[in-house]
Structure 1
Amino acid sequence: MLVRDAVAGDWPLIWPFLRAICAGGETFGYPVDITERQGESFWMLAPPGRTVVAVDETGAVVGTAKMNPNQMGNAAHVSSASFMVDPAHAGRGAGRALCVEALRWAAEQGFRAMQFNAVVETNTPAVRLYESLGFRVLGTVPEGFRHPRHGYVGLHIMHRPL
């Protein structure tokens, strides 16, 4: 699995699965009716942020990540990241490769930690992946996410020192 910086030409390959994931409403706090313009502005970051894609052996874009400072000013030493894997390619290591790259990048950039602000507690594959890479749940916002099948569920705040 190759992880590389995203270029403008990758957006048309990211948009279909980003739209589908958002429309499903199970893992992100983005609008379920997100427009392409909103999606591109939320996802395709300019420095000091970074957007990458995971590309499989056939050259297909199978996932993407964005990484950035979690806050500004005196809290800008903690990074954050978000990940989306095309559901058609789930379970093949793209999520892990993207998260490993985000951690590598954050350490290289001099961040002291990485924090995820809103990991839906019912997204157990993501929670397991993050925990396997050294993240721990610092706390959970009760009923912080309205899941379309499970109703109101918690949002984990997850953290890992770098």
Structure 2
Amino acid sequence: MKDIVIRPALESDFESIWTIFCTHIVSGESYVFTTATSREAGYQYWLGQGVRSFVAASAGGRVLGMYRLVPNQVGRGHHVANASFMVSPAAQGAGIGRMLGEHSLDQARSHGYLAMQFNHVVSTNGPAIGLWKKLGFSIVGTLPKAFRHKRLGYVDAYVMYQLLQDPDHWPTADDAPGV
């Protein structure tokens, strides 16, 4: 793990990001995107305006995984972060997801977010759910049959949430900084 660095994603990383992205959407097991998703839509999702994206890269520069960090909502919901993660199938099981998850929480805190929410964690994605629970997230809601799994049909999705700071120390609503 010491040979892996997490750094801001660069334009030059997009080919690797796109390859990992396509692998996940073709599987149809954990993301709402379909194979009809255009390359431009993928680019905007990972590297578009207002998106903070990071990659985990090997010492040789190979992208092993990535995440994006954005506000979960606009305006009065802007203090809650949202993040999406993908790890290359060739790198799964090596702790890359955990590294990215921990990094995203640090980044969210450093950018002034007060909480983080995942809107659509597929209930059959046990490794992701286990990781998010270990990193302090709780399932706060179940969306019945909200995901159309490629192999299993309609399955539930979870909303997962974590406070990043003690709410007793949050700024008042009128004093809250823009993130």
TM norm structure 1: 0.96
Unaligned runs of at least 5 residues, structure 2: 165-179
- Alignment correspondent of 1:2: 5
Query: Relative to structure 2, which stretch is displaced further, 51-60 or 96-105?
Result: 51-60
* Runs of 4+, deviation exceeding 4 Å: none
For the 8 Å contact 1:136–1:158, the answer to whether it is kept is: yes
Is 1:19 aligned with 2:4?
Answer: no
The size of the alignment, in residue pairs, is 161
Aligned AA (1:21): H
Q: Which has the larger radius of gyration?
A: 2
Shift of 1:33: 2.5
Query: Relative to structure 2, which stretch is displaced further, 37-46 or 8-17?
Result: 37-46
For the 8 Å contact 1:45–1:66, the answer to whether it is kept is: no
Query: Relative to structure 2, which stretch is displaced further, 51-60 or 146-155?
Result: 51-60
Looking at structure 2, the residues matched to 10 and 131 of structure 1 have their Cα atoms a distance apart, in angstroms, of 29
Equivalent position SS for 2:140:
strand
- Alignment correspondent of 2:87: 85
- Alignment correspondent of 1:38: 41
Equivalent position SS for 1:154:
strand
Shift of 1:143: 0.2
Q: How large is the Cα RMSD of the aligned pairs?
A: 1.0
Shift of 1:27: 0.3
- Alignment correspondent of 2:167: none
- Alignment correspondent of 1:119: 121
For the 8 Å contact 1:117–1:157, the answer to whether it is kept is: yes
- Percent sequence identity over aligned pairs: 39
Unaligned runs of at least 5 residues, structure 1: none
Aligned AA (2:138): R
Equivalent position SS for 1:146:
strand
